[in-house]
Structure 1
Amino acid sequence: MPAPPLVTLHLWGVSGRGIGRAIAHMATDRPRLRRIPGLRFAKLLGTGSGRTFTVRDADPRRWGLLAVWDDDVAADAGDRGRPVAGWRAFADEEWSARLRPLTSRGLWSRREPFGRPRPARWAGPVAAVTRARLVPRRAARFWAAVPPVSADLHRSPGLRMALGIGEAPLGLQGTFSVWESAAALNSFAYDRAPHAAVVERTAREGWYAEELFARLAVLSTVGTLGGADPLA
């Protein structure tokens, strides 16, 4: 059975003067990433608050790279590679995490980026990644349903950080969140009424053309986000 992949997430904060350079990297880094040995999957991401998943959520001063590697050796080489070094050259802040998939279902760009891991117990912090491609004619219903769930998310016990992630301003969006334990994440996912209601509507009304839900063990983190370490 193949070894489980290693997942990394880098988040960079840039100044107002660095926004144009960040946008340029979003275009030029894609072919560079494809040439890195041991890289299975990668997405350059914009970020936002995730409170409405519309353009007004976007944070032009924070950008990210999610990558899936064959192993730690490949991830170490990627961390020293040109795309990451290019962001570090002008970023004011960086936070990165190393993650291991625990469960994953669904597709991202018609691929299973985290493979099909066997469900496993993990005693430490847990990250959740969601990603969806909206059915255009149903997008308005999705956007109307998001604010109550987002407000409840940010009040949930055990949440350490949460932000919206997306490959485009509209239609392709998701979330990345970190929880102090799997139990805290389970409580939000299954016990909180706003989230449960949206999950039911999603299935019934068919909002998504493609969707992915994954849980990952947080192996380590480095740096700060908004001036602080979310897991400190």
Structure 2
Amino acid sequence: MRHMAFDRPLLRRTEGLTFWRLLGTGRGRSMSLGADLRRWALYAVWRGPADLEEFLATSPIAARWRSEARESWHVRLTPLAARGAWAGRNPIAIEGGAGGVQGPVAVLTRASIRFSRLAAFYRSVPAVDELLRRQDGCLASIGMGEWPLARQATFSLWRDSASVRAFAYRGAEHQQVIERVRSHDWYAEELFARFIPYGSEGTWDGTDPLR
């Protein structure tokens, strides 16, 4: 937990790291009240592959992942689409069109929840969690957060784009939550992004979900 504070100055000085967030994780597959204090995440946007390689080779943060972590998993992502904002801007640059996407898709959702809407938001989480468990196209998912309760995110991996659409638009529970988000103005800020995962290493709960 102490590295959530101590790693920040190192990340701020990392060459080529254009946007980053250290994130705690929940115990469920989506956003939840329970926290897993042993599992942490770094979401990072890089200027280019060379900057990432330099970080992995020389940063004491990456060295600690290798030497101290019981388990670690890394995935590289090419953005397909991104809308909304994170900390006042969209940090994800999109170059060209998505075209025909074959194979796995990664999805990142992030929201800053209004304090007046927190209770309603968390009442909606169990139904969405249950829907995720029933989706055979969902390879893996996890809830994450910058702050406890109010700044939340999810990261999920899907077999293909059709599986993402089936969850987003055909699941009644998810559709109801989306409608309440819009009609009751739950979020002060939100970001939704889709990616092609093009490289992964390590394990997540004992396996690499992309293999």
Instruction: Mark yes or no: TM-score above 0.5.
Output: yes
Pair 1:93 & 2:71 matched: yes
Distance, in Å, in 2 between the alignment partners of 1:116 and 1:207 is: 27
Distance, in Å, in 2 between the alignment partners of 1:158 and 1:100 is: 20
Distance, in Å, in 2 between the alignment partners of 1:207 and 1:51 is: 21
Aligned positions of 1:119-198 closer than 5 A: 119-120=97-98, 121-198=100-177
Aligned to 1:221: 200
Aligned to 2:85: 107
CA contact (8 A) 1:126 1:181 kept: yes
Aligned to 2:50: 73
Aligned to 1:33: 11
CA contact (8 A) 2:79 2:196 kept: yes
Pair 1:203 & 2:179 matched: no
Query: Deviation per CA, 1:162-219, whole angstroms, max 9, x where unpaired?
Result: 1001112210111000001111111111111111111111110000011010001010
Quick one: which amino acid aligns to residue 210 of structure 1? E
CA contact (8 A) 1:103 1:117 kept: no
- Give the CA deviation at 1:229: 1.6
SS in 1 for 2:22: strand
Quick one: which amino acid aligns to residue 184 of structure 1? S
Could you say if the C-alpha distance between residues 117 and 209 of structure 1 is closer, same or farther in structure 2, counting changes exceeding 3 Å?
farther
Pair 1:48 & 2:38 matched: no
CA contact (8 A) 2:111 2:190 kept: yes
Distance, in Å, in 2 between the alignment partners of 1:207 and 1:106 is: 14
SS in 1 for 2:2: helix
Distance, in Å, in 2 between the alignment partners of 1:117 and 1:205 is: 34
Number of equivalences: 209
SS in 2 for 1:227: coil
Give the percent of matched residue pairs that are identical in Structure 1 and Structure 2.
45
Of residues 140-149 and 86-95 in structure 1, the stretch that sits farther from structure 2 once superposed is 86-95
- Give the CA deviation at 1:85: 1.5
Could you say if the C-alpha distance between residues 51 and 228 of structure 1 is closer, same or farther in structure 2, counting changes exceeding 3 Å?
closer
1:61 corresponds, among 25, 38, 47, to 38
- Give the CA deviation at 1:82: 2.1
Query: Deviation per CA, 1:29-56, whole angstroms, max 9, x where unpaired?
Result: 1110111111110111111134674432
Distance, in Å, in 2 between the alignment partners of 1:166 and 1:139 is: 14
Could you say if the C-alpha distance between residues 188 and 54 of structure 1 is closer, same or farther in structure 2, counting changes exceeding 3 Å?
closer
Of residues 125-134 and 41-50 in structure 1, the stretch that sits farther from structure 2 once superposed is 41-50
Distance, in Å, in 2 between the alignment partners of 1:161 and 1:65 is: 17
- Give the CA deviation at 1:69: 0.4
Distance, in Å, in 2 between the alignment partners of 1:194 and 1:43 is: 29
**TM-score, scaled to structure 1:** 0.86
Distance, in Å, in 2 between the alignment partners of 1:132 and 1:119 is: 25
CA contact (8 A) 2:84 2:192 kept: yes
